[in-house]
Structure 1
Amino acid sequence: MDIRRRNNIRITGRPDGPTVVLAHGFGCDQNMWRLTVPALEEHYRVVLFDYVGSGGSELSAWDEKRYSSLAGYAQDVVDVCEELDLRDAVLVGHSVSAMVGVLAARAAPERIGSLVMVAPSPCYIDSDGYRGGFSAEDIDELLESLESNYLGWSAAMAPVIMGNPDRPELGEELTNSFCATDPEIARVFARTTFLSDSRDDLESVTVPTLVLECASDVIAPREVGAYVHARIPGSALVTLQATGHCPQLSAPRETNAAILGFLRGLR
Protein backbone atom coordinates (compact mmCIF):
# COMPACT_ATOMS: atom_id res chain seq x y z
CA MET A 1 0.00 0.00 0.00
CA ASP A 2 1.17 3.51 -0.79
CA ILE A 3 2.71 4.89 2.42
CA ARG A 4 1.66 8.45 1.67
CA ARG A 5 -1.98 7.41 1.57
CA ARG A 6 -1.67 4.83 4.33
CA ASN A 7 -0.28 7.33 6.83
CA ASN A 8 -2.00 10.41 5.43
CA ILE A 9 1.32 12.20 4.91
CA ARG A 10 1.21 15.96 4.45
CA ILE A 11 4.24 18.13 3.73
CA THR A 12 4.43 21.89 4.14
CA GLY A 13 7.02 24.60 4.71
CA ARG A 14 10.29 25.17 2.87
CA PRO A 15 11.15 22.37 0.44
CA ASP A 16 14.87 23.12 0.83
CA GLY A 17 14.83 23.54 4.61
CA PRO A 18 15.84 21.04 7.32
CA THR A 19 13.08 18.48 7.86
CA VAL A 20 10.97 18.30 11.01
CA VAL A 21 8.62 15.33 11.44
CA LEU A 22 5.70 15.80 13.87
CA ALA A 23 4.35 12.65 15.54
CA HIS A 24 1.07 12.73 17.49
CA GLY A 25 0.13 10.80 20.61
CA PHE A 26 -2.61 8.38 21.68
CA GLY A 27 -6.15 9.23 20.58
CA CYS A 28 -4.99 12.11 18.42
CA ASP A 29 -3.91 12.86 14.87
CA GLN A 30 -1.76 15.38 13.02
CA ASN A 31 -4.30 18.14 13.68
CA MET A 32 -2.85 18.36 17.20
CA TRP A 33 0.11 20.19 15.64
CA ARG A 34 -1.87 22.88 13.82
CA LEU A 35 -0.61 25.64 16.15
CA THR A 36 2.99 24.46 15.81
CA VAL A 37 3.17 24.18 12.02
CA PRO A 38 2.94 27.96 11.34
CA ALA A 39 5.92 28.57 13.65
CA LEU A 40 8.04 26.02 11.78
CA GLU A 41 7.14 26.24 8.13
CA GLU A 42 8.91 29.53 7.37
CA HIS A 43 12.33 27.96 7.89
CA TYR A 44 11.73 24.20 7.91
CA ARG A 45 10.22 21.46 5.79
CA VAL A 46 7.44 20.07 7.98
CA VAL A 47 6.17 16.51 7.64
CA LEU A 48 2.89 15.50 9.27
CA PHE A 49 1.37 12.04 9.31
CA ASP A 50 -1.16 9.87 11.13
CA TYR A 51 -0.36 6.50 12.63
CA VAL A 52 -2.36 3.72 11.02
CA GLY A 53 -5.66 3.65 12.89
CA SER A 54 -5.65 7.38 13.61
CA GLY A 55 -6.99 10.46 11.83
CA GLY A 56 -7.05 10.23 8.05
CA SER A 57 -4.90 7.10 7.84
CA GLU A 58 -5.93 4.03 5.86
CA LEU A 59 -7.84 2.03 8.49
CA SER A 60 -7.77 -1.15 6.40
CA ALA A 61 -3.99 -1.28 7.00
CA TRP A 62 -4.42 -1.55 10.78
CA ASP A 63 -3.23 -4.82 12.27
CA GLU A 64 -3.72 -5.62 15.94
CA LYS A 65 -0.56 -7.70 16.23
CA ARG A 66 1.66 -4.99 14.73
CA TYR A 67 0.20 -2.18 16.81
CA SER A 68 0.23 -4.11 20.08
CA SER A 69 3.79 -2.89 20.66
CA LEU A 70 5.50 0.47 20.33
CA ALA A 71 7.72 -1.12 17.67
CA GLY A 72 4.73 -1.13 15.31
CA TYR A 73 4.32 2.62 15.65
CA ALA A 74 8.08 3.10 15.32
CA GLN A 75 7.89 1.18 12.05
CA ASP A 76 5.27 3.67 10.83
CA VAL A 77 7.75 6.47 11.53
CA VAL A 78 10.55 4.62 9.75
CA ASP A 79 8.26 3.86 6.80
CA VAL A 80 7.37 7.56 6.47
CA CYS A 81 11.02 8.57 6.65
CA GLU A 82 12.01 5.99 4.05
CA GLU A 83 9.14 6.88 1.74
CA LEU A 84 10.28 10.51 1.74
CA ASP A 85 13.98 9.52 1.77
CA LEU A 86 14.58 11.72 4.81
CA ARG A 87 18.09 12.18 6.15
CA ASP A 88 19.00 13.60 9.54
CA ALA A 89 15.42 14.67 10.24
CA VAL A 90 14.24 16.08 13.56
CA LEU A 91 11.47 13.96 15.08
CA VAL A 92 9.13 15.83 17.42
CA GLY A 93 7.11 13.27 19.35
CA HIS A 94 4.25 14.06 21.72
CA SER A 95 3.52 11.83 24.71
CA VAL A 96 3.93 8.15 23.75
CA SER A 97 5.44 9.25 20.43
CA ALA A 98 8.47 10.51 22.32
CA MET A 99 9.29 6.89 23.12
CA VAL A 100 8.28 5.78 19.65
CA GLY A 101 10.85 8.29 18.41
CA VAL A 102 13.55 6.66 20.55
CA LEU A 103 12.83 3.30 18.90
CA ALA A 104 12.63 4.79 15.41
CA ALA A 105 15.93 6.65 15.80
CA ARG A 106 17.61 3.43 16.88
CA ALA A 107 16.09 1.48 13.98
CA ALA A 108 16.95 4.08 11.34
CA PRO A 109 19.81 6.28 12.64
CA GLU A 110 20.54 7.64 9.17
CA ARG A 111 16.96 8.96 8.93
CA ILE A 112 16.52 10.63 12.34
CA GLY A 113 19.25 12.96 13.54
CA SER A 114 17.67 14.51 16.64
CA LEU A 115 14.66 14.21 18.94
CA VAL A 116 12.24 16.58 20.64
CA MET A 117 10.24 14.80 23.32
CA VAL A 118 7.07 16.67 24.31
CA ALA A 119 5.64 15.47 27.65
CA PRO A 120 7.36 12.08 27.43
CA SER A 121 6.92 9.11 29.72
CA PRO A 122 8.94 5.89 29.36
CA CYS A 123 6.77 4.09 31.91
CA TYR A 124 3.47 5.14 33.45
CA ILE A 125 3.47 2.73 36.39
CA ASP A 126 5.24 3.43 39.69
CA SER A 127 7.86 0.96 40.85
CA ASP A 128 10.67 0.90 43.40
CA GLY A 129 12.73 4.05 42.92
CA TYR A 130 10.63 5.26 39.99
CA ARG A 131 7.52 7.41 39.90
CA GLY A 132 5.54 7.12 36.70
CA GLY A 133 2.43 8.76 38.12
CA PHE A 134 0.13 5.73 38.38
CA SER A 135 -0.09 2.55 40.41
CA ALA A 136 -0.61 -0.73 38.57
CA GLU A 137 -4.15 -0.71 39.96
CA ASP A 138 -4.75 2.79 38.54
CA ILE A 139 -3.75 1.62 35.06
CA ASP A 140 -5.87 -1.53 35.32
CA GLU A 141 -8.89 0.59 36.25
CA LEU A 142 -8.17 3.08 33.48
CA LEU A 143 -7.98 0.34 30.85
CA GLU A 144 -11.03 -1.47 32.19
CA SER A 145 -13.05 1.74 32.05
CA LEU A 146 -11.81 2.51 28.55
CA GLU A 147 -12.71 -0.95 27.29
CA SER A 148 -16.17 -1.07 28.86
CA ASN A 149 -17.31 2.41 27.77
CA TYR A 150 -14.85 4.17 25.50
CA LEU A 151 -17.00 7.20 24.73
CA GLY A 152 -17.79 7.72 28.40
CA TRP A 153 -14.12 7.28 29.30
CA SER A 154 -13.15 9.82 26.66
CA ALA A 155 -15.62 12.40 27.94
CA ALA A 156 -14.39 11.96 31.51
CA MET A 157 -10.65 11.61 30.92
CA ALA A 158 -9.86 13.97 28.04
CA PRO A 159 -10.44 17.15 30.09
CA VAL A 160 -8.28 15.72 32.90
CA ILE A 161 -5.48 14.89 30.48
CA MET A 162 -5.71 18.29 28.82
CA GLY A 163 -5.83 20.19 32.11
CA ASN A 164 -6.67 23.91 31.96
CA PRO A 165 -10.22 23.59 33.35
CA ASP A 166 -10.65 27.33 32.87
CA ARG A 167 -10.48 26.70 29.12
CA PRO A 168 -13.05 23.92 28.62
CA GLU A 169 -12.84 24.18 24.84
CA LEU A 170 -9.43 22.49 25.00
CA GLY A 171 -10.83 19.50 26.86
CA GLU A 172 -13.73 19.33 24.43
CA GLU A 173 -11.33 19.24 21.50
CA LEU A 174 -9.39 16.35 22.97
CA THR A 175 -12.65 14.56 23.81
CA ASN A 176 -13.75 14.88 20.19
CA SER A 177 -10.39 13.60 18.99
CA PHE A 178 -10.62 10.56 21.26
CA CYS A 179 -14.20 9.88 20.21
CA ALA A 180 -13.27 9.99 16.54
CA THR A 181 -10.99 6.97 17.03
CA ASP A 182 -12.41 3.49 16.49
CA PRO A 183 -12.92 2.02 19.99
CA GLU A 184 -11.22 -1.27 19.13
CA ILE A 185 -8.17 0.50 17.75
CA ALA A 186 -8.15 2.84 20.75
CA ARG A 187 -8.26 -0.15 23.11
CA VAL A 188 -5.15 -1.65 21.56
CA PHE A 189 -3.29 1.69 21.37
CA ALA A 190 -4.17 2.44 25.00
CA ARG A 191 -2.85 -0.92 26.23
CA THR A 192 0.27 -0.49 24.14
CA THR A 193 0.79 2.98 25.57
CA PHE A 194 -0.05 2.64 29.25
CA LEU A 195 1.53 -0.79 29.77
CA SER A 196 4.76 0.09 27.93
CA ASP A 197 8.11 0.29 29.69
CA SER A 198 10.81 1.95 27.59
CA ARG A 199 13.13 2.96 30.41
CA ASP A 200 15.92 0.69 29.25
CA ASP A 201 15.78 2.22 25.77
CA LEU A 202 16.66 5.73 26.91
CA GLU A 203 20.38 5.15 27.32
CA SER A 204 20.58 4.01 23.68
CA VAL A 205 19.78 7.55 22.48
CA THR A 206 22.88 9.10 20.94
CA VAL A 207 21.34 12.00 19.00
CA PRO A 208 20.79 15.57 20.28
CA THR A 209 17.61 15.50 22.34
CA LEU A 210 15.31 18.08 23.90
CA VAL A 211 12.99 16.98 26.70
CA LEU A 212 10.00 19.29 27.19
CA GLU A 213 8.00 18.81 30.37
CA CYS A 214 5.07 20.80 31.73
CA ALA A 215 4.98 22.43 35.15
CA SER A 216 1.89 20.38 36.01
CA ASP A 217 0.92 17.25 34.07
CA VAL A 218 -1.16 14.40 35.52
CA ILE A 219 0.05 11.98 32.85
CA ALA A 220 3.78 12.78 33.02
CA PRO A 221 4.72 14.37 36.37
CA ARG A 222 7.93 16.35 36.80
CA GLU A 223 9.80 13.33 38.16
CA VAL A 224 9.35 11.65 34.79
CA GLY A 225 10.92 14.52 32.86
CA ALA A 226 13.89 14.51 35.25
CA TYR A 227 14.25 10.76 34.82
CA VAL A 228 14.22 10.93 31.01
CA HIS A 229 16.71 13.79 31.00
CA ALA A 230 19.06 12.00 33.38
CA ARG A 231 19.15 8.86 31.27
CA ILE A 232 19.66 10.39 27.84
CA PRO A 233 23.29 11.48 27.66
CA GLY A 234 23.68 15.13 26.72
CA SER A 235 19.97 15.85 26.57
CA ALA A 236 18.48 19.24 27.41
CA LEU A 237 15.50 19.62 29.74
CA VAL A 238 13.10 22.56 29.52
CA THR A 239 10.24 22.97 31.97
CA LEU A 240 7.35 24.81 30.36
CA GLN A 241 5.08 26.90 32.54
CA ALA A 242 2.24 25.20 30.70
CA THR A 243 -0.16 22.90 32.50
CA GLY A 244 -1.73 19.72 31.21
CA HIS A 245 -0.40 17.07 28.85
CA CYS A 246 -0.81 18.88 25.51
CA PRO A 247 1.24 22.08 25.66
CA GLN A 248 1.27 22.42 21.86
CA LEU A 249 -2.43 23.32 22.23
CA SER A 250 -2.63 24.89 25.68
CA ALA A 251 0.57 26.95 25.45
CA PRO A 252 1.64 26.99 21.79
CA ARG A 253 3.80 30.12 21.92
CA GLU A 254 5.91 28.82 24.79
CA THR A 255 6.13 25.34 23.30
CA ASN A 256 7.03 26.60 19.85
CA ALA A 257 9.68 28.92 21.26
CA ALA A 258 11.36 26.01 23.06
CA ILE A 259 11.30 23.82 19.94
CA LEU A 260 12.64 26.61 17.71
CA GLY A 261 15.42 27.40 20.17
CA PHE A 262 16.53 23.78 20.05
CA LEU A 263 16.32 23.62 16.25
CA ARG A 264 18.42 26.75 15.84
CA GLY A 265 21.08 25.20 18.04
CA LEU A 266 21.37 22.25 15.63
CA ARG A 267 22.55 24.41 12.74
Structure 2
Amino acid sequence: MNIRRRNNVTVTGRAEGPVLLLAHGFGCDQNMWRLVVPALAKDHRVVQFDYVGSGRSESAAWNEQRYSSLEGYALDVVEICDDLDLRDVIFVGHSVSAMVGVLAAAKAPQRFSGLVMVAPSPRYIDDDGYRGGFSADDIDELLESLESNYLGWSAAMAPVIMGNADRPELGEELTASFCATDPDMARVFARTTFQSDSRDDLKTVQVPTLVLECRQDVIAPREVGAFVHAAIPGSRLVTLEATGHCPQLSAPEATTAAITDFIGAAR
Protein backbone atom coordinates (compact mmCIF):
# COMPACT_ATOMS: atom_id res chain seq x y z
CA MET A 1 0.00 0.00 0.00
CA ASN A 2 1.20 3.50 -0.80
CA ILE A 3 1.19 5.09 2.67
CA ARG A 4 1.78 8.61 1.38
CA ARG A 5 -1.22 8.44 -0.89
CA ARG A 6 -3.35 6.64 1.69
CA ASN A 7 -2.86 9.44 4.21
CA ASN A 8 -2.35 12.33 1.75
CA VAL A 9 1.07 13.05 3.25
CA THR A 10 2.58 16.45 2.45
CA VAL A 11 6.07 17.68 3.34
CA THR A 12 7.16 21.32 3.43
CA GLY A 13 9.83 23.45 5.04
CA ARG A 14 13.56 22.95 5.56
CA ALA A 15 14.69 19.55 4.33
CA GLU A 16 17.39 19.33 7.01
CA GLY A 17 15.39 20.99 9.80
CA PRO A 18 13.94 19.30 12.89
CA VAL A 19 10.88 17.24 11.92
CA LEU A 20 7.43 18.33 13.05
CA LEU A 21 4.62 15.85 12.37
CA LEU A 22 1.25 17.65 12.58
CA ALA A 23 -1.85 15.56 13.31
CA HIS A 24 -5.41 16.91 13.11
CA GLY A 25 -8.35 16.08 15.35
CA PHE A 26 -11.82 14.62 14.82
CA GLY A 27 -13.79 16.02 11.90
CA CYS A 28 -10.81 17.93 10.55
CA ASP A 29 -7.92 17.50 8.13
CA GLN A 30 -4.45 18.93 7.66
CA ASN A 31 -5.91 22.19 6.39
CA MET A 32 -6.56 23.07 10.04
CA TRP A 33 -2.82 23.76 10.41
CA ARG A 34 -2.46 26.15 7.47
CA LEU A 35 -2.12 29.29 9.61
CA VAL A 36 0.80 27.94 11.64
CA VAL A 37 2.66 26.00 8.94
CA PRO A 38 4.34 28.97 7.15
CA ALA A 39 6.05 30.14 10.32
CA LEU A 40 6.97 26.63 11.46
CA ALA A 41 8.31 25.71 8.02
CA LYS A 42 10.96 28.44 8.15
CA ASP A 43 13.13 26.39 10.49
CA HIS A 44 11.57 22.92 10.44
CA ARG A 45 10.65 20.09 8.14
CA VAL A 46 6.86 20.00 8.46
CA VAL A 47 5.03 16.77 7.69
CA GLN A 48 1.24 16.78 7.52
CA PHE A 49 -1.31 14.07 6.75
CA ASP A 50 -4.99 13.17 6.84
CA TYR A 51 -6.26 10.22 8.83
CA VAL A 52 -8.02 7.62 6.69
CA GLY A 53 -11.60 8.82 6.34
CA SER A 54 -10.64 12.49 6.58
CA GLY A 55 -9.61 15.15 4.09
CA ARG A 56 -8.06 13.82 0.90
CA SER A 57 -7.05 10.44 2.31
CA GLU A 58 -7.90 7.25 0.43
CA SER A 59 -11.31 6.28 1.75
CA ALA A 60 -10.92 2.81 0.21
CA ALA A 61 -8.27 2.12 2.87
CA TRP A 62 -10.73 2.69 5.71
CA ASN A 63 -11.44 -0.29 7.94
CA GLU A 64 -14.01 -0.02 10.70
CA GLN A 65 -12.31 -2.53 12.96
CA ARG A 66 -8.93 -0.78 12.72
CA TYR A 67 -10.31 2.70 13.29
CA SER A 68 -12.61 1.75 16.14
CA SER A 69 -9.71 2.27 18.54
CA LEU A 70 -7.08 4.97 18.89
CA GLU A 71 -4.47 2.25 18.33
CA GLY A 72 -5.50 2.14 14.68
CA TYR A 73 -4.81 5.85 14.23
CA ALA A 74 -1.49 5.48 16.08
CA LEU A 75 -0.54 2.70 13.67
CA ASP A 76 -1.17 5.13 10.79
CA VAL A 77 1.28 7.56 12.41
CA VAL A 78 3.96 4.91 12.90
CA GLU A 79 3.57 3.69 9.32
CA ILE A 80 3.99 7.26 8.03
CA CYS A 81 7.16 7.64 10.09
CA ASP A 82 8.48 4.32 8.80
CA ASP A 83 7.62 5.12 5.20
CA LEU A 84 9.40 8.48 5.29
CA ASP A 85 12.08 7.13 7.67
CA LEU A 86 11.40 10.03 10.02
CA ARG A 87 13.59 10.27 13.11
CA ASP A 88 13.84 12.67 16.02
CA VAL A 89 10.19 13.57 15.35
CA ILE A 90 8.30 16.13 17.40
CA PHE A 91 4.68 15.06 17.16
CA VAL A 92 2.15 17.91 17.31
CA GLY A 93 -1.32 16.49 17.94
CA HIS A 94 -4.55 18.44 18.22
CA SER A 95 -7.37 17.26 20.47
CA VAL A 96 -7.74 13.46 20.31
CA SER A 97 -4.56 13.30 18.22
CA ALA A 98 -2.56 14.32 21.27
CA MET A 99 -3.36 10.90 22.71
CA VAL A 100 -2.73 9.24 19.36
CA GLY A 101 0.76 10.72 19.59
CA VAL A 102 1.24 9.21 23.05
CA LEU A 103 0.33 5.78 21.68
CA ALA A 104 2.52 6.18 18.59
CA ALA A 105 5.53 7.21 20.69
CA ALA A 106 5.04 4.10 22.83
CA LYS A 107 4.86 1.90 19.70
CA ALA A 108 7.97 3.37 18.06
CA PRO A 109 10.02 5.24 20.67
CA GLN A 110 13.03 5.33 18.35
CA ARG A 111 11.11 7.69 16.03
CA PHE A 112 10.04 10.39 18.49
CA SER A 113 11.88 13.03 20.49
CA GLY A 114 9.03 15.22 21.72
CA LEU A 115 5.26 15.70 22.01
CA VAL A 116 3.18 18.84 21.66
CA MET A 117 -0.36 18.23 22.89
CA VAL A 118 -2.76 20.92 21.66
CA ALA A 119 -6.01 20.99 23.68
CA PRO A 120 -5.59 17.33 24.71
CA SER A 121 -8.03 15.15 26.59
CA PRO A 122 -7.27 11.60 27.72
CA ARG A 123 -10.91 11.08 28.71
CA TYR A 124 -13.93 13.22 27.89
CA ILE A 125 -16.29 11.64 30.42
CA ASP A 126 -16.19 12.67 34.09
CA ASP A 127 -15.03 10.02 36.55
CA ASP A 128 -14.43 9.81 40.29
CA GLY A 129 -11.82 12.47 41.03
CA TYR A 130 -11.55 13.43 37.37
CA ARG A 131 -13.34 16.10 35.37
CA GLY A 132 -13.38 15.47 31.65
CA GLY A 133 -16.10 18.00 30.94
CA PHE A 134 -18.99 15.65 30.08
CA SER A 135 -21.19 13.19 31.89
CA ALA A 136 -21.74 9.74 30.42
CA ASP A 137 -25.28 10.82 29.53
CA ASP A 138 -23.88 13.90 27.75
CA ILE A 139 -21.68 11.73 25.55
CA ASP A 140 -24.47 9.23 24.85
CA GLU A 141 -26.72 12.09 23.77
CA LEU A 142 -23.97 13.64 21.66
CA LEU A 143 -23.29 10.37 19.85
CA GLU A 144 -26.98 9.61 19.33
CA SER A 145 -27.49 13.05 17.79
CA LEU A 146 -24.42 12.65 15.60
CA GLU A 147 -25.46 9.22 14.38
CA SER A 148 -29.06 10.19 13.62
CA ASN A 149 -28.29 13.46 11.80
CA TYR A 150 -24.60 14.03 11.22
CA LEU A 151 -24.95 17.17 9.11
CA GLY A 152 -27.37 18.74 11.57
CA TRP A 153 -25.10 17.82 14.46
CA SER A 154 -22.14 19.36 12.66
CA ALA A 155 -23.96 22.63 12.02
CA ALA A 156 -25.01 22.87 15.67
CA MET A 157 -21.84 21.65 17.39
CA ALA A 158 -18.98 23.03 15.30
CA PRO A 159 -19.51 26.68 16.37
CA VAL A 160 -19.73 25.55 20.02
CA ILE A 161 -16.50 23.58 19.73
CA MET A 162 -14.73 26.43 17.98
CA GLY A 163 -15.94 29.09 20.42
CA ASN A 164 -15.11 32.68 19.47
CA ALA A 165 -18.73 33.62 18.79
CA ASP A 166 -17.55 37.10 17.80
CA ARG A 167 -15.70 35.51 14.87
CA PRO A 168 -18.41 33.39 13.22
CA GLU A 169 -16.23 32.63 10.21
CA LEU A 170 -14.19 30.27 12.41
CA GLY A 171 -17.25 28.26 13.36
CA GLU A 172 -18.35 28.21 9.74
CA GLU A 173 -14.99 26.80 8.69
CA LEU A 174 -15.13 24.02 11.25
CA THR A 175 -18.72 23.24 10.22
CA ALA A 176 -17.61 22.92 6.60
CA SER A 177 -14.77 20.63 7.65
CA PHE A 178 -17.11 18.40 9.65
CA CYS A 179 -19.63 18.27 6.82
CA ALA A 180 -16.93 17.30 4.30
CA THR A 181 -16.12 14.17 6.32
CA ASP A 182 -17.85 10.93 5.32
CA PRO A 183 -20.69 10.52 7.86
CA ASP A 184 -20.24 6.77 8.35
CA MET A 185 -16.52 7.12 8.97
CA ALA A 186 -17.10 10.18 11.17
CA ARG A 187 -19.51 8.23 13.36
CA VAL A 188 -16.86 5.61 14.07
CA PHE A 189 -14.15 8.23 14.73
CA ALA A 190 -16.52 10.13 17.04
CA ARG A 191 -17.36 7.06 19.09
CA THR A 192 -13.68 6.13 19.25
CA THR A 193 -12.80 9.65 20.36
CA PHE A 194 -15.48 10.47 22.90
CA GLN A 195 -15.56 7.05 24.56
CA SER A 196 -11.79 6.75 24.86
CA ASP A 197 -9.93 6.59 28.15
CA SER A 198 -6.19 7.01 27.70
CA ARG A 199 -5.31 8.27 31.16
CA ASP A 200 -3.08 5.30 31.95
CA ASP A 201 -1.20 5.78 28.66
CA LEU A 202 0.13 9.12 29.88
CA LYS A 203 2.45 7.17 32.19
CA THR A 204 4.29 5.80 29.15
CA VAL A 205 5.51 9.19 27.94
CA GLN A 206 9.30 9.36 28.03
CA VAL A 207 9.99 12.43 25.86
CA PRO A 208 9.83 16.19 26.53
CA THR A 209 6.19 17.24 26.33
CA LEU A 210 4.34 20.52 25.91
CA VAL A 211 0.70 20.69 26.98
CA LEU A 212 -1.07 23.59 25.27
CA GLU A 213 -4.48 24.61 26.58
CA CYS A 214 -6.83 27.54 25.99
CA ARG A 215 -8.10 29.63 28.86
CA GLN A 216 -11.65 28.62 27.93
CA ASP A 217 -12.45 25.38 26.08
CA VAL A 218 -15.76 23.50 26.33
CA ILE A 219 -14.20 20.28 25.00
CA ALA A 220 -11.02 20.25 27.10
CA PRO A 221 -11.51 22.40 30.24
CA ARG A 222 -8.57 23.66 32.24
CA GLU A 223 -8.85 20.78 34.72
CA VAL A 224 -7.95 18.40 31.90
CA GLY A 225 -4.81 20.31 31.01
CA ALA A 226 -3.76 20.26 34.65
CA PHE A 227 -4.37 16.51 34.83
CA VAL A 228 -2.29 15.79 31.71
CA HIS A 229 0.50 18.04 32.95
CA ALA A 230 0.58 16.33 36.35
CA ALA A 231 0.52 12.86 34.77
CA ILE A 232 3.58 13.49 32.55
CA PRO A 233 6.65 14.22 34.70
CA GLY A 234 8.66 17.15 33.44
CA SER A 235 6.00 18.34 31.02
CA ARG A 236 5.42 22.03 30.38
CA LEU A 237 1.90 23.48 30.61
CA VAL A 238 1.14 26.66 28.68
CA THR A 239 -2.24 28.39 28.83
CA LEU A 240 -2.85 30.40 25.69
CA GLU A 241 -4.75 33.65 25.77
CA ALA A 242 -7.28 32.05 23.47
CA THR A 243 -10.76 30.58 23.65
CA GLY A 244 -12.29 27.57 21.96
CA HIS A 245 -10.85 24.19 21.06
CA CYS A 246 -8.82 25.10 17.95
CA PRO A 247 -6.11 27.64 18.84
CA GLN A 248 -4.20 26.89 15.65
CA LEU A 249 -7.06 28.72 13.90
CA SER A 250 -8.21 31.21 16.53
CA ALA A 251 -4.75 32.17 17.85
CA PRO A 252 -2.15 30.96 15.33
CA GLU A 253 0.61 33.38 16.34
CA ALA A 254 0.42 32.44 20.03
CA THR A 255 0.22 28.74 19.13
CA THR A 256 3.25 28.97 16.87
CA ALA A 257 5.24 30.91 19.45
CA ALA A 258 4.52 28.34 22.16
CA ILE A 259 5.58 25.47 19.92
CA THR A 260 8.80 27.12 18.77
CA ASP A 261 9.71 28.18 22.31
CA PHE A 262 9.25 24.61 23.49
CA ILE A 263 11.37 23.19 20.68
CA GLY A 264 14.13 25.70 21.37
CA ALA A 265 14.17 24.86 25.07
CA ALA A 266 14.06 21.11 24.43
CA ARG A 267 17.12 21.31 22.18
Shorter-chain TM-score range: over 0.9
Q: Which residue of 2 aligns with 1:106?
A: 106
**How far apart, in 2, do the equivalents of 1:32 and 1:46 lie?**
14
**How far apart, in 2, do the equivalents of 1:61 and 1:219 lie?**
29
Give the letter for the 2:38 counterpart.
Answer: P
**How far apart, in 2, do the equivalents of 1:71 and 1:34 lie?**
26
Deviations 1:201-225 (A, max 9, x none): 0011010000000000000000000
Give the letter for the 2:52 counterpart.
Answer: V
The runs of at least 4 consecutive aligned structure 1 residues that moved more than 4 Å come to none
The TM-score normalised by the length of structure 1 is 0.99
Deviations 1:142-181 (A, max 9, x none): 0000000000000000000000000000000000000000
| 3-state SS of 1:110 partner | helix
The reply to whether residue 28 of structure 1 matches residue 28 of structure 2 is yes
Q: Which residue of 2 aligns with 1:69?
A: 69
Q: Which residue of 2 aligns with 1:236?
A: 236
Listed as ranges, the matches of 1:220-259 within 5 Å are 220-259=220-259
Alpha-carbon offset, residue 266 of structure 1: 2.2
Percent of residue pairs identical: 77
Give the letter for the 1:101 counterpart.
Answer: G
| 3-state SS of 1:240 partner | strand
Listed as ranges, the matches of 1:201-220 within 5 Å are 201-220=201-220
**How far apart, in 2, do the equivalents of 1:196 and 1:130 lie?**
14
Listed as ranges, the matches of 1:1-267 within 5 Å are 1-267=1-267
**How far apart, in 2, do the equivalents of 1:204 and 1:111 lie?**
15
| 3-state SS of 1:141 partner | helix
Give the letter for the 1:69 counterpart.
Answer: S
Any stretches of 5+ residues in structure 2 without a counterpart? none
**How far apart, in 2, do the equivalents of 1:202 and 1:10 lie?**
29
| 3-state SS of 2:71 partner | helix
Any stretches of 5+ residues in structure 1 without a counterpart? none
| 3-state SS of 1:90 partner | strand
| 3-state SS of 1:254 partner | helix
**How far apart, in 1, do the equivalents of 2:84 and 2:125 lie?**
36
Alpha-carbon offset, residue 265 of structure 1: 1.3
**How far apart, in 2, do the equivalents of 1:32 and 1:12 lie?**
15
**How far apart, in 2, do the equivalents of 1:108 and 1:127 lie?**
30
**How far apart, in 2, do the equivalents of 1:255 and 1:12 lie?**
19
Alpha-carbon offset, residue 264 of structure 1: 1.0
| 3-state SS of 2:109 partner | coil
**How far apart, in 1, do the equivalents of 2:150 and 2:184 lie?**
9
The TM-score normalised by the length of structure 2 is 0.99
Deviations 1:75-125 (A, max 9, x none): 010011000101110000000000000000000001111000000000000
Give the letter for the 1:182 counterpart.
Answer: D
| 3-state SS of 2:242 partner | strand
